[in-house]
Amino acid sequence: MSRLLIVGPPGAGKGTQAARLAETFGIPAIATGDIFRLNIKNETPLGLEVKSIVDAGDYVPDTLTNELVRNRLHEADALDGFLLDGYPRTTDQVRYLEEMLAARGQSVDAVIQLVADREEVVSRLRKRAIEQGRVDDSEEAIRHRQDVFMRETSPLLAIYEDKGLLVPVDGLGDLDEITERIMAGLAARGITPDGVADSADSHAANSNLGS
């Protein structure tokens, strides 16, 4: 099974592609927002802690986010493979995930980066906001979220690019075509639904792509 991350700006269709890939690879799609909401709903000790932080308008700290993700990845369905959406978001979280997986003799296989033209995404989100009557979702607010995403994720993308794990994919166009691009990008690194190529093959694939 595969251990994948998916990254992309708000409005790039990450959730849709994550669900498709999870079904294709037979792994759970795990979004940090869902983890937070589930723990809050079930009133777990960590969930109550998250709720108090969110209610106060503060950011959930890395230590708490890491613990929630660790608990989720230790559930039976995620032991051998997963697709993470929204995590890691900081360099400390990148390090934590790497160390946690290494302790299990595992590592991230690939990081899918959905690349989308900023103006196209802003236009798409603004149109959706108008259609849904979300008058407070202004173009300024949408652009701000795009800026925050770029500022927060650029260092992470650089880390994974240096590791040879980044799979950039054009995230605009027909949904099926985007899925096909992702699958082709993963296959070029020896990652298929039938299993991940051994480390030597994967390394060779990465080396060839970089040449």
How far does CA 93 lie from the centroid of its chain?
Answer: 12
Strand residues in 20-155 grouped as ranges (E): 29-31, 82-85, 110-115
What integer is the mean pLDDT of 7-13? 90
Instruction: Report helix, strand and coil shares of the chain as percent, to nearest 5.
Output: 60, 15, 30
Reading the block at residue 114, the tokens are 């959905």
Backbone dihedral region of 164: left (phi > 0), alpha (psi from -120 to 50 degrees) or beta?
A: left
Among 95-109, 112-126, 196-210, top mean pLDDT goes to: 95-109
Domains in the chain with CATH codes: 3-202 (3.40.50.300)
Catalytic-residue membership of 145 = yes
Catalytic-residue membership of 14 = yes
37, 89, 95, 143: which one is catalytic? 89
184 vs 134, which has greater pLDDT?
184
CA distances from 55 to 21, 40, 48, 69, 197 (A): 33, 11, 10, 20, 45
For the chain, percent of residues with pLDDT exceeding 90: 63
Catalytic-residue membership of 89 = yes
Determine how many CB atoms are found less than 10 A away from the CB of residue 29. Answer: 21
Backbone angles phi, psi at 56, to 5 degrees: -85, -5
41, 104, 118, 134: which one is catalytic? 134
14, 126, 181, 189: which one is catalytic? 14
Catalytic-residue membership of 126 = no
70, 104, 127, 128: which one is catalytic? 128
For residue range 104-157, what is the model confidence (pLDDT) as tens digits?
999 999 999 999 999 999 998 999 888 888 877 888 888 988 898 888 888 999
Closest CA to 64 of 81, 78, 52, 75: 52
The whole-number pLDDT of residue 201 equals 43
37, 95, 145, 163: which one is catalytic? 145
